[in-house]
């Protein structure tokens, strides 16, 4: 009886061992690339996967998007400026069979392709384009990397330039250039304002010249605005047509007055 129980126990252990070696459970984002005696049989999963012990071999592949940080690359732009560029790439496996059979290490190979593509693409761009046209450069990088990794069953979804570092001397030169550009714009805007103001004054003068009363009203309005300020002195010139009658009256009265004054002063008292 003991020998029978011992034999059953051994058989149970063997069955459990074989079951553990032949049963695999894959998550939703995982796939199994199965080789039978070295020959590819296809992909399986997710869920429970049954394998033949000692005959089948399984390679687990993840379908999730992988983030790869591209190490800083020293590049020389088309206008001979040295820059240091940091970037990040996002890719995922779309063909598990090709990612296992076509390349030894898909993540490492994709990283190397991303580095070389980053240097070659950005080396053809000017510094201004590298700083201001990142979206188009990102699209070019993504397209080129995707074309090169497609035979490996890998899809490059996004490539982003994170940072661009340039020498301090170039930063100072760009700062001076930006300052000069701002001064140029300020002068242009000021000149345009002067031109528009002169044009409006010319139009206003043309309107006022047609009605002299409007000129007088504008003159009085200006005096009113000046008088509203504190500690101000106003010199108000009178029009000649207003004071001309007074001047004529004074001029006509001066001869008679002078004569009477002469008579009074010239007479001497008569001696008695």
Least reliable range by pLDDT among 84-88, 136-140, 188-192, 205-209: 205-209
128-151 burial, b at 16+ Cβ within 10 Å, e below that, comes to ebbeeeeeebbebbbebbbebbee
- Please check whether residue 97 is in contact with residue 40, taking contact to mean a CB–CB distance below 8 angstroms: yes
pLDDT at 52 (0 to 100): 84
Determine the Cα–Cα distance for residues 22 and 10; give it in Å rounded to an integer.
18
Determine the Cα–Cα distance for residues 59 and 97; give it in Å rounded to an integer.
10
Whether the pTM exceeds 0.85: the reply is no
Q: Output 178 or 61, whichever has higher pLDDT.
A: 61
Q: How far is CA 64 from CA 16, 69, 94, 157, in A?
A: 32, 16, 9, 12
How does residue 165 score in pLDDT terms, banded at 50, 70 and 90?
confident
Structure letter (DSSP) for residue 236: -
Q: Which residues does residue 39 pair with via DSSP β-bridges, in sequence order?
A: 36
pLDDT at 172 (0 to 100): 79
Average pLDDT over residues 70-76: 88
pLDDT at 228 (0 to 100): 63
Average pLDDT over residues 236-261: 60
Q: What share of the chain is helix, strand, coil (3-state, %, to 5)?
A: 55, 25, 20
pLDDT at 260 (0 to 100): 47
How many angstroms separate the most distant Cα atoms in the chain?
Answer: 194
Average pLDDT over residues 170-183: 80
39-44 vs 30-36, strand pairing mode = antiparallel
Report the chain's mean pLDDT, rounded to a whole number: 80
Least reliable range by pLDDT among 110-124, 194-208, 248-262: 248-262
- Please check whether residue 141 is in contact with residue 86, taking contact to mean a CB–CB distance below 8 angstroms: no
Average pLDDT over residues 92-110: 91
pLDDT at 236 (0 to 100): 59
Determine the Cα–Cα distance for residues 239 and 244; give it in Å rounded to an integer.
9
């Amino acid at each position: 009886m003991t020998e029978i129980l011992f034999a059953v126990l051994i058989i149970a252990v063997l069955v459990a061992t074989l079951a553990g070696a032949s049963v695999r459970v894959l998550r939703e984002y995982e796939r199994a690339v199965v080789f039978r005696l070295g020959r590819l049989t296809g992909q399986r999963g997710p869920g429970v996967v049954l394998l033949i012990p000692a005959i089948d071999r399984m390679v687990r592949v993840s379908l999730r998007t992988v983030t790869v940080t591209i190490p800083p690359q020293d590049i020389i732009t088309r206008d001979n400026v040295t820059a240091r560029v940091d970037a990040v790439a996002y890719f995922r496996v779309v063909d598990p069979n090709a990612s296992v059979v076509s390349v030894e290490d898909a993540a490492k190979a994709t990283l190397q392709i991303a580095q070389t593509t980053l240097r070659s693409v950005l080396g053809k761009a000017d510094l201004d384009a590298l700083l201001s046209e990142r979206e188009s450069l990102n699209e070019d990088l993504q397209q080129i990397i995707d074309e090169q990794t497609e035979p490996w069953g890998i899809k490059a979804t996004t490539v982003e330039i994170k940072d661009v570092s340039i020498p301090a001397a170039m930063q100072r030169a760009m700062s001076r250039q930006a300052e000069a550009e701002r001064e140029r714009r300020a002068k242009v805007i000021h000149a345009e304002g002067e031109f528009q103001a002169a044009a409006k004054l010319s139009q206003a003068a043309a309107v006022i010249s047609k009605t002299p009363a409007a000129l007088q009203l504008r003159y009085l309005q200006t005096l009113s605005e000046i008088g509203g300020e504190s500690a101000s002195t106003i010199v108000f010139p009178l029009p000649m047509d207003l004071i001309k009658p007074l001047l004529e009256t004074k001029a006509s009265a001066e001869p008679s007055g002078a004569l009477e004054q002469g008579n009074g002063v010239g007479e001497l008292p008569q001696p008695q």
